[in-house]
Amino acid sequence: MKNDTYLQDLTEIKSIMKHSTRFLSLSGFSGVSVGVIALCSSFLAFLYIRSIQTEQAHSPHISDGVLHQNAILLLFALALLTLVLSISVAYYFTLRKSKSDNTPLWTPASKKLVVDMSIPLLTGGLFSLISVVHGLFVLVAPITLICYGLSLVSASKYTVYELKHFGVLQIILGLIAFTIMAYHLIIWAFGFGVLHIFYGLMMYFRYEK
């Protein structure tokens, strides 16, 4: 009887130590939701880019500068909307899982995770914005994929180990997008969309089901 009590105490201590060093409230539904948002966003971006190309072909008298400015504004607005929606749904599902697990959302591990993710993400965001201002739209997909992948690898030491593998895949896709720039938008949609959905479902069935 005493042995059972000791084992139970050790299990509880181990669980407390694990949650204090690792953030385990990441929700698989957040990954799926972010993936769906990314696919919708990339589809809208594809339609808009095609409309610009069609407009240039049928209306050569229109100034390239005007089209360039409009493209910057609309694509930036789409990117900002995608970012806000992605962060919002990720926060919502993570908060919901944290409450269902009866664990605090903001722990030393989660704070370190956010800090380690923020540096590569902010760098990639600023780099992408500068590229768009200079009309280098094809650089946005590889830059965001690589920087996002680096942020995941950096943050993986504070949460589930699968996040590191997911980050490495994003980096590889970013490098491929640099190599095959004609398909940069498709590769971006696969990385942020399809892989996010796959990763979210895997996390759900492995840790939440």
Decide if pLDDT at 190 tops 90. yes
DSSP 3-state of 24:
coil
* pLDDT reading at 170 higher than 80: yes
**102 vs 93, more confident:** 93
Per-residue H/E/C for 47-101: HHHHHHHHHHHHCCCCCHHHHHHHHHHHHHHHHHHHHHHHHHHHHHHHHHHHHHC
Task: State the Cα angle at 118 between 87 and 194, rounded to 5°.
Answer: 50
Quick check: 16 pLDDT over 50?
Answer: no
Question: Looking at per-residue confidence, does 4 or 209 come out higher?
Answer: 209
Question: What burial letters (b/e) apply to 157-179, b meaning 16+ CB within 10 Å?
Answer: ebbbebbbebbebbbebbebbbe
| pLDDT at position 115 | 85
Dist. CA 46–CA 52, nearest whole Å: 10
- Indicate if the pLDDT at residue 11 is higher than 90: no
pTM of the model: 0.79
Mean pLDDT of all residues belonging to the chain: 79
Cβ atoms of residues 8 and 177 within 8 Å: no
Is the separation of the CB atoms in 32 and 197 below 8 Å? Answer: yes
Question: Residue 68: which pLDDT band, with cuts at 50, 70 and 90?
Answer: low
**Structure tokens belonging to residue 115:** 């800090």
Distances in Å between the Cα of 185 and the Cα atoms of 41, 78, 106, 163 are 10, 14, 35, 23
Ranges of each domain in the chain: 28-208
Confidence of residue 56 (pLDDT cuts 50, 70, 90): low
Q: Are 197 and 42 in contact (CB under 8 A)?
A: no
Distance CA 69, CA 153 (A): 35
The model's pLDDT over 100-151, given as tens digits with 9 standing for 90+, comes to 777 777 777 778 888 888 899 999 989 988 887 787 878 888 999 999 999 9
